[in-house]
Amino acid sequence: MTIRTDDVWVIGGGVIGLTSAIALAEDGHRVRVVSRDAAGGTTSAVAGGLCWPYRIQPYERAVRWSVRSFQVLAELARRPEETGARMVTGTMASASVPDAADEGHRAPDNGVEEGLAAWYEAVPGLRRAHRQELREGCASGWRARTPLVDMPAHLQYLERRLTAAGGTVERRTLTSLEEAGRAAGLVVNCSGLGARELVPDPDVHPVQGQLVIVANPGIEEWYVAADTGADATYVLPQPYGLVLGGTAREHAWSREPDPAVAKAIVARCARHFPELAGAPIREHKVGLRPARPAVRLAAERLPGGAVCVHNYGHGGAGVTVAWGCADEVLRTVREIGEGGRR
């Protein structure tokens, strides 16, 4: 059976869907992004925007995707006002003391960053943090200059770039993948949490993340302490304010900010940065990370003959792996096209 790969429907208008659509459109495919929500209403718009692998499996593929995304975002950071991406120096801190054998560019074996050695080796200029660069409660850490993305601005840039490549965006709710398959020969499923019902895939579940945006008292670097408790503590300077986080509540579906949780987030961050204790609060945000035991990035044939390339389940690392996953989607679509022509 001949498989049409010239017309492609991409389901999902967040960062995973838009980057996949751009990769395909810029390769010459006619691409339509079909999304229930506008980009600003997706989980991607709530993301803190730090390029660093977080809550994603499998590690080996995730690191490869992350390194590729790092390269793309670093290039986009040359035009921050246009793309929303900037290169910002920061510290990834840990409560644990590194082993003597861990003084090189290897990931610490602390359970949080297990398996990320290749990422640490790939980040340019990454080094061990000096003691005076660490905050209270942290015993070790890494210093790096990484992409930090203003997600609302970045999503607007991605939509503009897609349109410039000839792609279109349609606001529409789909009830099944087969519905999309009847309209296009090839479907790319980037539906995130929606894949739970759309596929359906019961392995997809939310990991609720709550953030507090405060007026920035002058903090210019990002700071993350990821293993100091059940929830990560992070401070991310963005043009719209200082992002304080955060939480990671498995199977929590509420999108309503919890005042008690918000108070705890500010208190945790203020232990590292005392000047935040009285910072004016600008906004509260809650997002539902689309988690899965492992990312699903693979093709399958749908009833009716269309082919679907799944690209979902990125948990808390969608921004970090988006461009790497988009490259893999493009390679998969090319292989499908070549197979269909044989």
Summarize the annotated binding site as residue ranges. 43-44, 234, 289, 315-320
Written as six digits, the tokens of 235 are 């401070």
Q: Are 145 and 125 in contact (CB under 8 A)?
A: yes
Distance (Å) of CA 312 to CA 116, 148, 201, 279, 282: 21, 22, 10, 37, 31
Q: Are 304 and 185 in contact (CB under 8 A)?
A: no
User: In this structure, are strands 249-250 and 186-189 parallel, antiparallel, or unpaired?
Assistant: unpaired
**CA dist., res. 272 & res. 144, Å (int):** 18
> Which residue type sits at 317?
A
Annotated binding site for D-dopa, which residues?
234, 289, 316
Selection from 36, 29, 3 nearest residue 190 by Cα: 36
Q: Phi/psi class of residue 84: alpha, beta or left (left: φ > 0; alpha: ψ in -120 to 50)?
A: left
Written as six digits, the tokens of 272 are 């590292």
**CA dist., res. 50 & res. 14, Å (int):** 16
**Cβ-based neighbours of 274, under 8 Å, separated by 6 or more:** none
Annotated binding site for FAD, which residues?
43-44, 315-320
**CA dist., res. 141 & res. 130, Å (int):** 8
**DSSP per-residue string spanning 30-69:** EEEEEESS-GGGSGGGGS--B-S--S-S-HHHHHHHHHHH
